[in-house]
Amino acid sequence: MDAGPFTDQELLAYLDESLSVELMSQVEESLRHSDSLRVRLAQLSRQRDHGAHSVGEIWRRNHLSCPSRSQLGGYLLETLTPEFHSHIEFHLHQTGCRYCAANLEDLQAGLSAASTDKERRRQKYFQSSAGYLSAKKADR
């Protein structure tokens, strides 16, 4: 078996885990059977580390419409203009951009961790103020 039908770009995206699930598993499957593909991937990976290929650059070339991370954050917090909000919504749901979906998931996890913290602090506050109220006379 030869190096498979994959382009350098696809293999780089594979390294970056930004391929579609389907393509990811195709590449993985081919890697299992093809020494030459493994060699090619290793070469690409080295070249990439040396800056010959910048995945971000390649990605930007192909995904010019990707919102930035802070724009995605604004999308989550609903602080964007309605036009921009629906632009991002379209990008996420119609183009099914995995890169942005992963970014969004990451941001969402950060946000919900933050709100869990806030919730915990609030509970603590209520508990301690309840404690404070009942102990108020003794304290003062």
| Pairwise CA distance, residues 24 & 18, whole Å | 8
Q: Indicate the SS3 state at residue 96.
A: coil
How many whole angstroms separate alpha carbon 139 and alpha carbon 67? 54
Q: Is 66 in the site for Zn ion (CB under 5 A)?
A: yes
CB of 45 to Zn ion, least distance (A): 23
- Subset of residues 81 to 120 that bind Zn ion, contact rule: CB under 5 A: 97, 99-100
Question: At its nearest, how many Å lie between Zn ion and the CB of residue 114?
Answer: 24
Residue 104 tokens read as 């969004």
88 in Cβ contact with 75 (< 8 Å) = yes
Residue nearest to Zn ion (CB): 97
The reply on whether position 13 binds Zn ion by CB under 5 A is no
For binding to Zn ion (CB under 5 A), which residues are involved? 66, 97, 99-100
